[in-house]
Amino acid sequence: MSFYVLIPLLPLIGFLITGIFWPYFKGKGHIVTVPLMIASWVLSLKAFSETMNGPAVHIKLFDWIDSGSLHVAISLMVDHLTAIMLVMVTTVSTLVHIYTAGYMKDDSGYDRFFAYISLFTFSMIMLLMSDNLLELFVFWEAVGFCSYILIVHWYERKPSWVAANKAFIMNRIGDFGFMLGILLVYVVFGTLNYSEIFQKLPAHIHDTINFWSAFNGTTQYSVITVIALLLFVGAVGKSAQLPLHPWLPDAMEGPTPISALIHAATMVTAGIFMIVRLNPIYNASSIAMSVVAWTGALTAIVAATIALTQRDIKKIVAYSTMSQLGYMVMACGVGAYGAGIFHLLTHGFFKALLFLGAGSVIHSMSGEQDIFRMGGLSRAMKITFSTMLIGSLALSGIPPFAGFYSKDLILSDAFQSGPTGHIFWMIGVLTAMLTAFYTFRLIFVVFFGKENFSEGEHHHGHEGHAPHESPLVMTFPLLFLSVMAIGAGWAGNHYDIIGFLSQSMPVPHAIGRPELSEDSLKSISVIVGLVGILLAYALYGKPSTVPQKMAQQFKWLYSLSLNKWFFDEIYDLIFVKPTIFLSFLLWKEVDKGVIDGIVNGVAEFCQTSAAAIRRVQTGQLQNYALVMAIGLFGMVSLFLFVR
């Protein structure tokens, strides 16, 4: 057995030990899980360095399904894409494990929480290491399940379980499409193994499928396009793209560490990972590619506009995550898979940093999440402030921070991908400006200005202590991640991450000669980011009434953004209300009326008819004797005279 097996196995062992024996830990759950996680992280680094100068590793653990022509094995595949994702996932997961020890201190579900994040990490690692679609799908569902049980961690609060249900149900819609896609892959290719699919792909590239043959339809669809789009539906659900996104902001009801781990750095990027992993299928279908690109671009800009007006610190970061995921999907849609993965990695670091920083702020404010009830925190929380500033600069794409390199790579790849690419580039640049604006709005409102809270007014403030810096166990992950947020982009650029990844996937080819050189493209996006920061400073850097005036001036746009483009309301109207109405109809009318009516009717009939017949039983002995006598005479006379 090689050490690769240990990478997913160690978190699983951690989960089993803490999960089974959790009543005995009594707030010491980190003793088991954190060292195992660190070991897994070290092994991931080793795996990464092995792939750096070696070929992809492929280990078959066991045959899972062996039925007819369907062969599915549980395997571990570590190629360049997996290795680099593994490093990011285990790094963030380890830091979140450490952070949790501080953040969730004194929580009644402390050990349970550790068990679940270890289970999540195991599932995510297996998802990355899978070598066939079915294995991917199993762990795809497993991470979704872990996300559910972690969002619902504070299960006694109604918003938690409502949000968890919403996340699970919305993901189910996406997963249904994903499952159909897998079935179609099996029907067309006869295998679920990635490498075998890619081998057989050229032979099926012109295959068509007729969906309406049962209804005598004749329209033929390209089967590769259908597969790509169905699989993309799964990615839309998991990576919170339009229109299946509303679960992600609501998932912020869960504890902050899982927002950082699951809903920023790892699980939500599974959709992008899947697209990149199956890039030959997507490359074979230009229609699917443009659908992917447009979905990503629209998600990026819509999420960015929503983030402009939100007041909840975690919601702002959540919409920013959604917007950045849109960027990555857009990058995949224009064929810049390497740039998408690069952004995924840097984003994983700086967005986890922002979430953990937000968690540190919330922790010190004793549960307050409204940014307009904070303010002036830079004096009390120097480490949190400086690390969050680094994260925000990285998110805004200011050099030399990580976001600059990856975001610019996406933008320049988009620009070079032909005429529609220019549109994507413009959307991307606009989004970049909005991103810089809302990120620094958060920074200015939370950390500068006057204090908008009074002592002892906090949610759980029994003793009403002033804001304070978080303990070292929480600031250490922030510091570590800010190093990554500074260095990851430079390192990726310097050591040619795209060249490294191109061993697993194709690089995009530029169409024609771009009108703008790469340097001018870069400077445009940096300038745009700086403009966004300056705008945020002008509006929120010092006390001003301009934001209120603007909100009144553009009331329509303001309410559109504040209400998240009314997605929840529209879904409520189209899906939730009719479903509830239909359910009530079925309950009150069909179930109570028809079903219960039949059952109760039968009972009623028996009862009334029995009551009628019961009159025969008078209880008078002589009545019975008379009936007996009449019967006897009747029988005797029958015997004597009729025969």
Partner 1 sequence: MVPLSWYVGLSSALFLIGLIGVLVRRNTLVVLLCIEIMLNAVNVNFVAFSKYQHVIDAQILVFFVITVAAAEVAIGLGIIISLFRLKGSVNIDDFNILKL
The nearest distance, CB 629 to partner 1, in angstroms, is 6
DSSP secondary-structure letter at 203?
G
Total number of residues that touch partner 1 (CB under 8 A):
10
Contacting partner 1 within 402-431 (CB under 8 A): none
Binding partner 1 by CB under 8 A: which of 573, 595, 626, 635?
626
Could you say whether residue 618 binds partner 1 (CB under 8 A)? Answer: yes
Helix-then-strand count for the chain, H and E = 28, 4
Binding partner 1 by CB under 8 A: which of 620, 639, 641, 643?
620
CA angle 471, 472, 475 (to 5 degrees): 95
Could you say whether residue 199 binds partner 1 (CB under 8 A)? Answer: no
Q: Beta strand 70-78 with 57-67: parallel, antiparallel or unpaired? A: antiparallel
Tell me whether residue 590 or residue 628 sits nearer to partner 1 (CB atom): 628
| Contact (CB, 8 A) for 116 and 74 | no
Q: Beta strand 221-222 with 57-67: parallel, antiparallel or unpaired? A: unpaired
Which region, judged by CB under 8 A, interacts with partner 1, from 326-334, 367-375, 578-586, 614-622? Answer: 614-622
| Burial classification of residue 73, based on how many CB atoms lie within 10 Å of its CB (0-12 exposed, 13-18 middle, 19 or more buried) | middle
Binding partner 1 by CB under 8 A: which of 205, 625, 635, 636?
625
Which region, judged by CB under 8 A, interacts with partner 1, from 74-82, 124-132, 409-417, 619-627? Answer: 619-627
Give the Cα separation of 44 and 41 in Å (integer). 5
Tell me whether residue 460 or residue 614 sits nearer to partner 1 (CB atom): 614
Instruction: Please give the single-letter amino acid code of residue 459.
Output: H
3-state DSSP of 470-487: CCHHHHHHHHHHHHHHHH
Give the Cα separation of 259 and 317 in Å (integer). 10
Give the Cα separation of 252 and 268 in Å (integer). 13
Binding partner 1 by CB under 8 A: which of 580, 629, 636, 638?
629
Binding partner 1 by CB under 8 A: which of 619, 639, 641, 643?
619
CA distances from 385 to 132, 381, 469, 478, 569 (A): 44, 6, 10, 10, 36
Tell me whether residue 454 or residue 620 sits nearer to partner 1 (CB atom): 620
The nearest distance, CB 626 to partner 1, in angstroms, is 5
Give the Cα separation of 288 and 421 in Å (integer). 15
Which region, judged by CB under 8 A, interacts with partner 1, from 95-103, 200-208, 582-590, 610-618? Answer: 610-618
Nearest CA-CA partner of 381 in 367, 360, 395: 360
Could you say whether residue 552 binds partner 1 (CB under 8 A)? Answer: no
Could you say whether residue 460 binds partner 1 (CB under 8 A)? Answer: no
The nearest distance, CB 607 to partner 1, in angstroms, is 13
Tell me whether residue 546 or residue 632 sits nearer to partner 1 (CB atom): 632
Could you say whether residue 617 binds partner 1 (CB under 8 A)? Answer: yes
The nearest distance, CB 634 to partner 1, in angstroms, is 14
For partner 1, the binding residues (CB under 8 A) are: 614, 617-622, 625-626, 629
